[in-house]
Chain A
Amino acid sequence: MFEQITSNKRRSVALVFAFVLVVVAVVWAFNTLIGYGVSGLVVAVVFAGGTAALAYWKSDAVALRMSHAKPADPEQYPRLHNVVEGLCIAAGLPKPRLYVIEDDAPNAFATGRNPRHAAVAVTTGLLDRMNRIELEAVLAHELSHVKNYDILVSTLAVTMVGVVVLLSDFGMRFMWFGGGRRRDNNGGGGGPGAMLALLGFALLILAPIAAKLMQFAISRRRETLADVSGVALTRYPPGLIAALEKLKEDQTVVRSGSRATAHLWIESPVARKPEEGRLAWLGKMMDTHPPLDERIEALREL
């Protein structure tokens, strides 16, 4: 458990560095194509650093806002508050802020930068459909994410991956419109200039893919880990098994769930398409969550 916390903190630092590197590389590629020189690079470094800092302090707010989460009123949702308070006693954690999302699809996620600044959001669908024991199991899973610092890594990833995707989108579009001018100025090109341009172009395409893969690599194994440490809190595996079964049966999809926040949720909020044929392995690699069947199976073995 403690190794996981250290590894998560280390991972967060690595993530921030990778992010700054990718942003600088993208801007550099962009620069090579358009040509702004060193000043552009300085702006890029400042921008990347600023975004990373902002992501650390504010990414939980971003994630909550993106999913249209509203603070959960203790009067209106006494059960949610009671269950979380109980689990926090068991885990020795401070109580996180609680949010509710108006959505029929049962799902939940945790966010924040450390246990003292954590938030847990659940959909109304989850509150309606789960009984107390199942709700407890789901929330124990979320609190394990909080305790293990998974929230820090994954929430940082939300914000920063979003920025990278946005940036390269922007770069692509800029190239379609502004690229022509540069070609006129330099006249034909060829040699190192063209090579650099090609490299820049490759980077522009690769950046979002790399960012996505990074995001997926972060999330999958820790879902199973959080399942197991959640059960260590409730001491009752059948509770989580029942909850996951219910999530599996349910086909509704969270409306405000997007690919950017997918890895935060307990179950993937994006529709899972039946993957067949040659591209199945690719789909599996890009999935943010291990299949529910695998997770249920792992719990049965406890």
Chain B
Amino acid sequence: MVAFIILAVLLVTAGVGVITLRQPVHAALSLVAGILALAAIYVTLEAHFLAAIQVIVYAGAVMVLFLFVIMLLNVGRTRAASLKWLKPAAWVTGALSLAAVVTVVFVVQQPLPEFAVIDAALRGGNADAVGDALFTDHLLSFHLVGVLLLVGIVGAVALVQQTVPARRTRQGVAQQEPQDAPELVAAGEGN
């Protein structure tokens, strides 16, 4: 319980940081802290493989992509919202939905099974156990997610790639006129 409270406080603090910090880089780093705390919480829930994946995929890959885009776009501070009532309304909506969920959850409380039962059923949630479930009962979902990731990769490349042909023609021009070549290449890299 003590470990849970410490991790929960860390997680909520990081979550508040994500939505209140002004600089996007600070918010992204706050999300990294929250993701690491969440990985520790997964360990307390007997999901060891998912905890490792959480650190590798989220803190490793996704957040690096986020920081890369934030620094690429160089987004500064944003102006205040045009709708004055939006911010308090958002906080009230969040508080109400939170209260509703917490009430429902604690009204229909269910006893937790014994640790031996959980351990036997989840098998520590390691790669062996999760892989067993993924490659037998959830094989179709696994394949579909693979296709989705492939489509995502192709889509992301297609969205970002558009300037490459233009740069090629510039370099072609640069090869025809060797005197202007350094300037044009530098201009192309500036974009």
Chain B binds chain A: no
